[in-house]
Each structure stands twice: as C-alpha cells, then as structure tokens.
Amino acid sequence: MYRSHILICGGTGCTSSGSARILQTFQDELTRYGLNEEVKIVKTGCFGLCAKGPVVIVYPEGAFYAHVRAEDVKEIVEEHLLKGRIVRHLLYEETAQEDNIKSLDQTDFYKKQKRIALRNCGVINPEDINEYIAYDGYQALGKVLTEMTPDDVIDVLKRSGLRGRGGAGFPTGLKWSFAKASEADQKYVCCNADEGDPGAFMDRSVLEGDPHAVIEAMAIAGYAIGATQGYIYVRAEYPIAVKRLTIAIGQARELGLLGKDILGSGFDFDLDVRLGAGAFVCGEETALMTSIEGHRGEPRPRPPFPAVKGLFGKPSILNNVETYANIPQIILKGSEWFASMGTEKSKGTKVFALGGKINNTGLVEVPMGTTLREIIEEIGGGIPNGKKFKAAQTGGPSGGCIPASLIDTEIDYDNLLAIGSMMGSGGLIVMDEDNCMVDIAKFFLEFTVDESCGKCTPCRVGTKRLYEMLDKITKGEGTLEDLDKMEQLCLYIKDNALCGLGQTAPNPVLSTLRYFRKEYEAHVIDKRCPAKVCKQLVHYVVVPNKCRGCTLCTRHCPVGAISGEVKKPHSIDLEKCIKCGACIDQCKFNAIVKE
C-alpha cells in the first residue's frame, strides 16, 4: 500500500517539455531516499491544462505542481514527500491559498468541465490495463455480452442522443442500426483517429491517456452490428498514441477481451491499427476506408453509404475517437444520464482543443450548450496581454470564424451551423485584435488547397482560385468585384464538391466575409490592413521623439534599410525594407511601429 502517488503527465505536450526526464529524476530521488516502497510514480495522459505543463500532481494532497523542471524534483521529494511540506512556490498559482490548497475541481479551468470522454486522462496509467479495469473498465462490454441484445445496445445509443463527434454530428445509434440491418458475411468497425485539423489534439490525447475506452467501445460496436474485425486508423505523426494503443490492444488480447469467444460469450472480435500518412482528406470516411484497403486516399461517391458498402465492399461503421470514448459510460450509466446533459438536439459533452490567443491553452470538456464566453473568459482565462477578443475559429479549416459580437452563443451543432461555423472535431482557435481575418481565411484556404486529393474539379480548382483571390487582396491588388466573385465561387464549391473537405472548405471565407467585410474592404479600397499583418500593406517607420539613436536596429537590419547617426533619430528606407520585423524586435524604446 503506497502512502503517496506521483502523477506525471506523459502526453505529447508535457513529453516535449521534458516530462520523461522529470519522471526519471523522481525515480532516482525516490531510490536515493529509500521511498520506492512508499511512493508510486504513475505516468498518465494529458491533464488538460497544457499551458501549465510539465505537470506533476502528488496525492493524497492533490498538490498540482506546474511548469515543473527536473531541477525541481529534489525539492519536491525532500520537502513534500519526506517532510510533508507542500512546495508552495511550485504550485499552480490558482490552487495556492494561504493556509491550504484549492482542489482542482474548484479552479476556473476545471470547475465548469464535465469529463466523460476525458474521465481517465491524467488519472490512470494508460499502459496498464489493470488501472483501466479498476475504474470500471470493460464492465460495459461485460454488461453488453451478458445482459443485452444488439438491438438493446443500439436502442440505448439512440435514446442517449449521442451524435458523432467527428464533425457532421450524425446520430450514432442510427448509423449503427443501418449497418446492423445490412446482410453480409463480414462487417467492419472503423475508428477515425486521423485528426488533421490545425490546432486539434483531442483524439490524440484520448488515445494517449485512455486507449482502452476506445477498444472497449469498438468491441461493443462489433457486437451491436455483427462485426468481428475492427481497424483504428491513426496518423503516424502520433507516435505516443500509436505506442500506447498497440500496448493496450496486446493487453486486451492477453486477458481475452479481444479475440475469440470474448468472456465466454461466443462473440469474436479483434482489432488492428493502420497508420495514415497525414492526408487531411483521409478524415473523410470513404477516403479513410480506401486508404485502409491500401489505395490512395480518395473519397468515393455516396450512395452507397458505408453502412451498406464500406470497407472492402462490406457493411461498415466509422466513428471518431471521442465518439467511442463516450460509449462505455453510456452503457453503464444509461441513456437518460447522458441525455440529461447538453441541449435539446445536442446531448452530452464536447471536448475542445483550446488554442491560439488564450491564457489557458489545453483540452477542455464541457456540456453542450456552454457559451463561447464561458470557455474563453472563464475556463480559458481570457486573452493574454490585455488584448481584446476578436474571433474564434471552430471546426478547423471546415469551420467558420465566430465574431466577438456572438461570444454568448451556446455551442452546439445547430447553433454553430446557424452562424456559419460548425462543430468539427473540436478545434477552437482564439484570435485577438492583432489577427487579420483576411489573412486567417487565406491561411485555412492554403491548407485546404494543399490537402485536396484532387479527385473533383470544384475542390481541386475552386479552392485554388479562392486562394489566389485572397492572396491578391492581402497584397492590395484586389477589387470589390473580387469579393462578389469569391462569394459566388464559395457557394458553387459547397454545392458541387464530392466530399466534406471540399463542401466545407469555403466556410472560413464565407464567415469572414459575413462578419468582417469592412476588413476586406479596407484591404481592397484603402489598400490597408487594419491589423497590420499583411506585409505588402504595412510600412515600418521610426517615431522620431522616441528614437534614442542607439543603432541597435541598424546593426540588426539584414538589408541595411535603416540609417542615422548615433544618438539621433534614425530613418527607414521603405524601398529597401523587407518588413522582416527584426528592427521592432531589437528596439528597446518602442520607437519603430507598423503603419
């Protein structure tokens, strides 16, 4: 029996910041003080609050140590674990109180969250199946195989209101019922873990922190539709997720939770992992299945839908990681429990990867219907450096930009569609007053152009033409006529592209035209970028009464565009200036500005 547990984040974010070295240092220090039999180290998945990583939590006190360095470990071991004195200067500042520490569920970041898909992330060792089992793991599978028929399982999902968390929000139970109704000698269960949206890392974190939840759910899905084989399609750029998923599948097989005659029920089901090469289009279900088959990842026309003719031409279902992660809890706690959360048409919770211009970057899971304001100002801790919130991009390249005027929008599938955005897989990128919305639209279009598979003309050619028009506008070469042409082209692409990638590609353009048209007009009419982002529309100038003539800017200008005498105001030759920003970075007197 251990008296203390040290939980160390082993997710990608903290690992990249040195958490592996921290873990090794803890092991060395515990050995040095002979504490190995009293204190257990647990390498977990992501705790969610990535902005404070690397994170170490010591229980039973619940001391949340933030930005931990290997050099801090000795002090934590000596003070906290040996002498029982919490190292207060290393605590996450919001948990540090005068005479005690605040529990995590009372902090602004965590108190409005409801963790279902993320319930075990940061809690268990994802590489130890026994820890998952200790937290009710595989009980749902046992219940399904011993107490429920396939129709019972599908009925529970239908009544729960669970909708696909991968983007489109299709009812999960309905999708499964279609596949069950299809007659075939073989059926398949697929998991989309290809997560390609810029700024999205929800599915990666679930696989890194709780892979067995997905495995258990896929086995349940196999039972429900009559499938004996499943495939998890995960991008190769997720090495930690792939490693832990592979370990988890092996452990489940060893315990008879995958394979033949699971739990003596006569039900057979097994899983394999397939690695993707990072093609965004393979997030589309038919392209993903084509890739699993060993072909170039391109979407197929629908109908027939995968529930009738999917992987290898057999009836198949595809859900993403987050969707599956909800299912064991729905089976155990009931459809009414899940349906009691969220809004009328969007039940349960949603995981968001909160990034961009926000203080508390990280993973959050909130009930559907939580407002954008609550996520940004309360959970996210607001915008850094006193800047003003300008917009939020939901749904990645497929979504739209939500302006500050709509910050009180309740986030669910239907509300986001109504304002020109979409849920997507759950990326939420926050922008402040320093972001140019034309440049943002151009960024996402450039991504879409690069990721288009090229199979259909509306996407292959249409998105390229859209990008070219945006590029013209950011260079000050656009016209008002271009704005109308862009809008018409957007609508054409939406109506005619073959798959979801092309159909949603115009959303960033349409939403920014809708809510930030004046910004477009400033680029076109005034040849000015209000946010001072678009290089061709910005000039660097010296403010004479602030310049001290220190010559730092002159010495660091790569093209010799700055001249002036020592201790006298300098000047910038606009013809030579390449607008690299080196002079602004070096000036200690804020004497160089962008106009």
Kindly report the CATH number assigned to the domain that includes residue 486. 1.20.1440.230
> Do 182 and 313 reside in the same domain of the chain?
yes
| CATH code assigned at 47 | 3.40.30.10
Mean pLDDT rounded to a whole number for the chain: 95
pLDDT in tens, 295-340: 999 999 989 999 999 999 999 999 999 999 999 999 999 999 999 9
Per-residue pLDDT tens digits for 475-514: 999 999 999 999 999 999 999 999 988 999 999 999 999 9
**Same domain, yes or no: 227 and 293:** yes
3-state secondary structure 258-286: CECCHHHCCCCEEEEEEEECCCHHHHCHH
What is the band of 404 on the pLDDT scale with cuts at 50, 70, 90?
very high
Here the tokens at position 50 are 């990535």
One domain for residues 282 and 399: no
What confidence score (pLDDT) does residue 424 get?
A: 81
The pLDDT of residue 85: 95
Clarify whether residues 287 and 378 are in a common domain.
no
Query: For 202-215, what is the mean pLDDT?
Result: 97
Taking a C-beta distance cutoff of 8 angstroms, is the pair 118, 92 a contact? no
**pLDDT greater than 90 at residue 430:** yes
pLDDT at site 278: 86
Q: Is the pLDDT of residue 167 over 90?
A: no
User: Is 120 part of a structural domain of the chain?
Assistant: no
Q: Is the pLDDT of residue 395 over 90?
A: no
| pTM of full prediction above 0.85 | yes
Q: What pLDDT is attached to residue 425? A: 80
Residues 269-285 pLDDT 10s: 999 999 998 898 999 99
Per the domain annotation, does 123 fall within a domain? no
Torsion angle defined by CA atoms of residues 354, 356, 357 and 362, in that order, rounded to the nearest 10 degrees: 30
Counted domains in the chain? 5
The DSSP 8-state label assigned to residue 292 in this structure reads H
Closest C-alpha among 234, 250, 202, 283 to residue 11: 202
Residue 523 CB coordination number (10 Å) = 28
Check whether the bond before 150 is cis (ω within 30° of 0): no
Per residue in 5-31, pLDDT (tens digit) is 999 999 999 999 999 999 999 999 999
pLDDT for 388 equals 97
Q: Are 70 and 21 in contact (CB under 8 A)?
A: yes
Q: End of a domain among 416, 432, 448?
A: 432
Last residue of a domain, one of 287, 319, 338: 338
CA separation for the pair 99, 520 (Å, rounded): 54
Query: Are residue 278 and residue 326 in the same domain, yes or no?
Result: yes
Average pLDDT over residues 174-182: 98
Give the pLDDT of residue 304.
95
326 and 198 co-located in one domain: yes
The yes-or-no verdict on residue 72 having pLDDT over 80 is yes
Q: Is residue 301 part of a domain?
A: yes
49 and 87 belong to one structural domain? yes
Return the pLDDT at 549.
93
> Is residue 184 a part of any domain in this protein?
yes
- Distances 434 to 340, 391, 439, 512 between C-alpha atoms, Å: 40, 11, 11, 15
Q: Which residues form the domain of 494?
A: 437-524
Characterize the bridge pairing of strands 56-59 and 188-193. Answer: unpaired
What percentage of the chain carries pLDDT values higher than 70? 100
Last residue of a domain, one of 311, 338, 365: 338
Distance of CA 174 to the CA centre of its chain: 26
> What is the arithmetic mean of pLDDT over 360-373?
97
pLDDT at 496: 95
Please indicate, yes or no, whether residues 461 and 427 belong to a single structural domain of this protein: no
Q: Calculate mean pLDDT across residues 550-579.
A: 93
465 pLDDT above the threshold of 90: yes
